[in-house]
Amino acid sequence: MKSIKLLVGLVLMVEILFSFTYPQPLPKGSMARGKKVYETYCLACHQADGSGVQRMNPPLIRSEYVSGDTKRLINIVLQGLNEEIEIDGDTYSTPMPAQGHLNDREIADVLTYIRNSFGNKGKSIDPVQVNTERKKLK
């Protein structure tokens, strides 16, 4: 009994150590699918390299909105955004139209894509997280 507990403890310790050393891999295929969604629905405004259009469409590079709180990020895509925001010293106040017509997986994929492109490095977003936010809107 004692040795089993010891073994379980050891396995847990190794797992915790590994999760610090190696970042979680992104879900298979999500980057490729997310890139397609981005090119179809976001690129025209935010540009291919995520640099945006100064004082009109904000960049997705070094943006706290992209790398920060995932609930806020999901809701920007679901509901659009219409408030004055500041990124990299520039202010933006053009409204962004809601993209809630995209399904949960498309939104999860495109957000995983922008969180891991343009020099960003962030945890992936799961369709379940998107669905949870979508349900709150009803």
Minimum distance from residue 106 beta carbon to ligand HEC (Å): 8
Residue 10 or 61 having the CB closest to ligand HEC: 61
> How would DSSP label each residue in 63-121?
-HHHHS-HHHHHHHHHH-B-S-EEETTEEE-SPBPP-TTS-HHHHHHHHHHHHTSTT--
3-state DSSP call for residue 53?
strand
With both helix axes pointing from N to C terminus, report the angle between 70-79 and 127-137 in degrees, rounded to the nearest 10: 60
Residue 92 or 116 having the CB closest to ligand HEC: 92
Instruction: Determine the Cα–Cα distance for residues 78 and 103; give it in Å rounded to an integer.
Output: 10
Minimum distance from residue 24 beta carbon to ligand HEC (Å): 21
Residue 27 or 35 having the CB closest to ligand HEC: 35
Minimum distance from residue 95 beta carbon to ligand HEC (Å): 5
Strand-pair category, 90-92 with 85-87 = antiparallel
Residue 9 or 80 having the CB closest to ligand HEC: 80
Residues lying near ligand HEC in the complex (CB under 6 A): 41-42, 44-46, 57-60, 63, 65-66, 73, 76-77, 81-83, 85, 87, 92-97, 99, 110, 114
Minimum distance from residue 62 beta carbon to ligand HEC (Å): 9
Name the β-bridge partners of 96: 81
Residue 59 or 108 having the CB closest to ligand HEC: 59
Minimum distance from residue 94 beta carbon to ligand HEC (Å): 4
Indicate the burial class of 16 (C-beta count within 10 angstroms; 0-12, 13-18, 19 or more). Answer: exposed
